[in-house]
């Protein structure tokens, strides 16, 4: 069985995390969802692509996370898509200056986000991983709770 690609979804709103995670699961991806930049920072080295919001709870916003990811040797090649409600030109420029690979504004249909991820990965020519790199405990955070 082929190994799934892992997508890290960093969004402050639980509903957004769950909606996008469900869509990626449907398309054969392994989604990992977190709400803060600190959580994302710990997981980032083991994922194939990152989707991050700008307005995140905690000490670091999404642009600061992006800048740290691009400055770190372990994560600087991981594509990052900024997905946000902050569609102002100043925020777009901050994200682009920090190194984002794509900038999308909400509302964003899940299928459109999947398409953007595929385009970014095609541009980066990221090969499919040979083995799972996210621990099951991290991946289980995205499963629906009954």
pLDDT of residue 128: 53
Q: The tokens of 92 are what? A: 């777009």
Position 131 in a domain: no
Helix (H, G, I), strand (E, B) or coil at 91: helix
Q: Is residue 114 part of a domain?
A: yes
Q: Is the peptide bond before 65 cis (omega within 30 degrees of 0)?
A: no
132 lies in a domain?
A: no
Measured in whole angstroms, the distance separating CA 99 from the mean position of its chain's CA atoms is 14
Query: Has residue 15 been placed in a domain?
Result: yes
CB 3 within 8 A of CB 133: no
Spatial contact of 24 and 56, defined as CB atoms under 8 Å apart: no
| DSSP reduced 3-state for 136 | helix
Q: Is residue 146 part of a domain?
A: no
> In CATH, what number is assigned to the domain containing residue 72?
3.40.50.2300
For residue 79, tell me if it sits in a domain: yes
> Mean pLDDT of residues grouped by 10 in the chain (146 residues)?
80 96 96 97 96 95 96 96 93 95 95 95 68 43 40
């Amino acid at each position: 069985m082929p190994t799934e690609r892992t997508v890290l979804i960093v969004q402050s709103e639980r509903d957004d995390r769950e909606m996008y995670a469900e869509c990626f699961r449907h398309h054969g991806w392994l989604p990992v969802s977190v709400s803060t930049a600190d959580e994302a920072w710990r997981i980032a080295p083991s994922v194939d692509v990152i989707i991050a919001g700008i307005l995140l709870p905690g000490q670091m916003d999404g642009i600061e996370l992006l800048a740290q990811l691009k400055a770190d040797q372990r994560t600087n090649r991981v594509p990052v898509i900024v997905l946000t409600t902050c569609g102002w030109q100043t925020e777009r420029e901050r994200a682009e200056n920090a190194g984002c690979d794509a900038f999308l504004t909400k509302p964003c249909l899940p299928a459109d986000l999947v398409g953007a991820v595929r385009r970014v990965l095609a541009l980066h020519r990221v090969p499919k991983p040979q083995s799972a790199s996210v621990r099951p405990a991290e991946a289980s955070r995205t499963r629906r709770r009954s």
